[in-house]
């Protein structure tokens, strides 16, 4: 099936944006995305036209929200003021990135794993967990694995996570599983909370600080006013903004601006070192 996407949309930049760790570029310009038990193969066929491996109902119900297609990113870029030239440059560099709406449980576990790990290393751990504890998914092209649910991880022990290269984060993963299975952390229920209360609820998990909580809020709950600040973003704030956090001025677009910062930093490491 073919779909039309007229707004900014770049599959490679989304892949490299540091928010999703299971997307895979395949031969022929195809990209594979997995969310829950759903798999999408998508390829740019022409300007604003994409070939997708699902029907119209699945596209509108699952994948259009996943890619945040109801939001106009062109307008967001146009709203960047002239007095913020660095952000304008970063937004131009990252044009086509979108804030993906991903599974809260997967994002919680993934960003616990992400601490002090490179993107390839995060991907490696996530795939190991999926292959060992997830469910098989068969597509016409390949056999894949879902990201394991908390229930699928209930009998996984500290040493098992360490064997999957989680390192010192292993006890944090055990605590996340325990809290979700006991109901002390209701990932569905906290979606009704304000941004601040949502962050606080997520920080109740061992090893989840303000940065990881903001990542989960942004990439799982669509809280685009949340702007995670990691080492790369701190360097940009220090170098370009005299140490003053610029995100507050962008309101509900702050998290999108953060992604432009992060993508720029990843592609200009010498300048932001």
Q: Is the pLDDT of residue 92 over 80?
A: yes
- CATH 3.30.310.260 domain locations along the chain: 2-84
pLDDT in tens, 155-169: 999 999 999 999 999
Architecture of 2-84 per CATH?
A: 2-Layer Sandwich (3.30)
Q: How confident is the model at residue 183 (pLDDT cuts 50, 70, 90)?
A: very high
**What superfamily in CATH does domain 104-221 come from?**
Hypothetical protein; domain 2 (1.10.340.30)
Interior angle at CA 248, CA 245 and CA 254, nearest 5: 100
Cβ pair 220, 112 in contact under 8 A: no
Q: Give the model's pLDDT for residue 273.
A: 62
- CATH 1.10.340.30 domain locations along the chain: 104-221
Cβ pair 153, 133 in contact under 8 A: yes
3-state class (DSSP) for residue 194: coil
pLDDT in tens, 35-71: 999 999 999 999 999 999 999 999 999 999 999 999 9
Cβ pair 203, 210 in contact under 8 A: yes
3-state class (DSSP) for residue 40: strand
């Amino acid at each position: 099936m073919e779909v039309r996407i007229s707004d900014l949309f770049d599959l490679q930049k989304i892949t490299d944006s540091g928010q999703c760790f299971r997307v895979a570029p395949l031969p022929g310009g195809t990209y594979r995305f997995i969310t829950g038990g759903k798999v999408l193969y998508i390829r740019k066929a022409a300007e604003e036209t994409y070939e997708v491996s699902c029907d119209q109902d699945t596209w509108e119900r699952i994948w259009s929200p996943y890619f945040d297609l109801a939001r106009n990113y062109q307008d967001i870029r146009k709203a960047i003021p002239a007095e913020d030239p660095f952000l304008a440059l970063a937004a131009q560099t990252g044009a086509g990135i979108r804030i993906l709406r991903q599974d809260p449980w997967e994002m919680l576990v993934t960003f616990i794993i992400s601490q002090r790990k490179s993107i390839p290393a995060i991907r490696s751990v996530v795939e190991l967990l999926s292959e060992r504890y997830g469910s098989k998914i068969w597509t016409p092209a390949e056999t894949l694995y879902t990201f394991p649910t908390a229930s699928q991880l209930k009998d996984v022990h500290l040493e098992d996570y360490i064997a999957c290269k989680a390192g010192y984060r292993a006890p944090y993963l055990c605590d996340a599983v325990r809290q979700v299975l006991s109901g002390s952390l209701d990932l569905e229920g906290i979606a009704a909370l304000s941004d601040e209360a949502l962050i606080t609820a997520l920080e109740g998990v061992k090893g989840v600080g303000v940065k990881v909580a903001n990542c989960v809020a942004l990439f799982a709950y669509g809280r685009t006013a949340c702007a995670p600040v990691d080492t790369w973003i701190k360097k940009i704030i220090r170098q370009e903004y005299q140490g003053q956090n610029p995100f507050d001025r962008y309101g509900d677009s702050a998290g999108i601006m953060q992604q432009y910062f992060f993508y720029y930093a990843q592609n200009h490491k010498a300048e932001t070192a």
